[in-house]
Amino acid sequence: MAGKPKLHYFDARGRMEAIRWLLAAAGVEFEEKLLESSEDLDKLRHDGSLLFQQVPMVEIDGMKLVQTRAILNYIATKYDLYGKDMKERALIDMYTEGVADLGEMILLLPLCPPDQKNAKLTLIRERTTNRYLPAFEKVLKSHRQDYLVGNKLSKADIHLVELLYYVEELDPSLLANFPLLKGLKTRVSNLPAVKKFLQPGSQRKPPGRDSRCLRGALLPSLLTPSASPTTQDVGGWPPSCLGTCAPSQASSTPVATVSYVLPGESWTHLFASLRAPQTSSNPEGHWPPSASVSS
């Protein structure tokens, strides 16, 4: 008998949470190998477990799968959550991509610099109520069925309901004008496997951990000084980020020089939002201590 899937990621939502949701909805028990430090991530890289040097990674059916969409598609196919034919799969993919577009905006919100947060929230609210939720409400209204595709639960429904929970965390009033989506959320949430996953003490991750896990586990590995400039991928979280470390021209002490690509945000702003705890030896809360960061 095959063992339980084993999930390798940080103790945070990030890009693994959709995988947790999908496995839970399929009624599949899974184990988690939580990465608690940069050394844990480096170990996976060095032993060849991470094809592209980044997490999430899931061990399942004798494979070590990476890349979130590939993992989700495999799980959905294996547990009959991916439609009955090519047309249904195309619709499921289309809806899932729409969910991902809005989900990415919410996912990156904790990394937004404080002076831009209100503007980002306003944009997210506008996109939520004027673009994405109306589209999904329209789909449900068009066929008056319980689920988005083929009147059968699919990964599109699961990903959408996960997103609706995030929207509610952001502002419960955003769902007020979407009765069919609220009905879908209730319907999926009451499925026994999902209901169990939503209970306290499950493997579902609470909000607020992502930025802390980035600071505690990823940044130390990103900022490992080297004798010559190198580029390191930050493990797939958040997306599209590159860091380079080089020795200071002014002294022999290595100083991090980082370029970080995020929509509308700079690395300097990211570090400002991820300040280390202030101590007597580090009164300004620099992260990591003694590192000077420039965008």
CATH of the domain at 177: 1.20.1050.10
Same structural domain for residues 94 and 188?
Answer: yes
Same structural domain for residues 136 and 226?
Answer: no
Q: Which residue, 138, 166, 197, sits at the end of a domain?
A: 197
How much is the average pLDDT of 78-94?
98
- Give the HSE-up count for residue 13: Cα atoms under 13 Å, Cβ half-sphere: 20
Question: Quick check: helix, strand or coil at residue 262?
Answer: strand
Same structural domain for residues 26 and 104?
Answer: no
Q: Supply the range of the domain harboring residue 185.
A: 86-197
Same structural domain for residues 112 and 72?
Answer: no
Residue 174 inside a domain? The answer is yes
Same structural domain for residues 92 and 193?
Answer: yes
What is the rounded distance in angstroms from the CA atom of residue 108 to the CA atom of residue 100?
12
Question: How many domains, in total, are found in the chain?
Answer: 3
pLDDT tens track for 230-247: 333 434 444 433 333 333
Whether pLDDT at 102 is above 80: yes
Global pTM reads 0.75
Residue 202 inside a domain? The answer is no
- Count CB-CB contacts under 10 A for residue 259: 13
Same structural domain for residues 155 and 187?
Answer: yes
Residue 285 inside a domain? The answer is no
Whether pLDDT at 13 is above 50: yes
Residue 238, amino acid: P
Whether pLDDT at 156 is above 70: yes
Residue 121 inside a domain? The answer is yes
Contact 156, 11 (CB under 8 A): no
Same structural domain for residues 228 and 168?
Answer: no
Same structural domain for residues 186 and 96?
Answer: yes
Mean per-residue pLDDT over the chain, rounded: 80
Residue 283 inside a domain? The answer is no
Residue 97 inside a domain? The answer is yes
pLDDT tens track for 53-63: 999 999 999 99
Say what the alpha-carbon torsion angle 112, 20, 143, 100 is, to the nearest 10 degrees: 30
Q: What is the pLDDT, as a whole number, of residue 210?
A: 67
Same structural domain for residues 187 and 235?
Answer: no
CATH number of the domain that 47 lies in?
Answer: 3.40.30.10
Residue 10 inside a domain? The answer is yes
Q: What pLDDT band is residue 111 in, cutting at 50, 70 and 90?
A: confident
Whether pLDDT at 8 is above 70: yes
Same structural domain for residues 98 and 170?
Answer: yes
Residue 184 inside a domain? The answer is yes
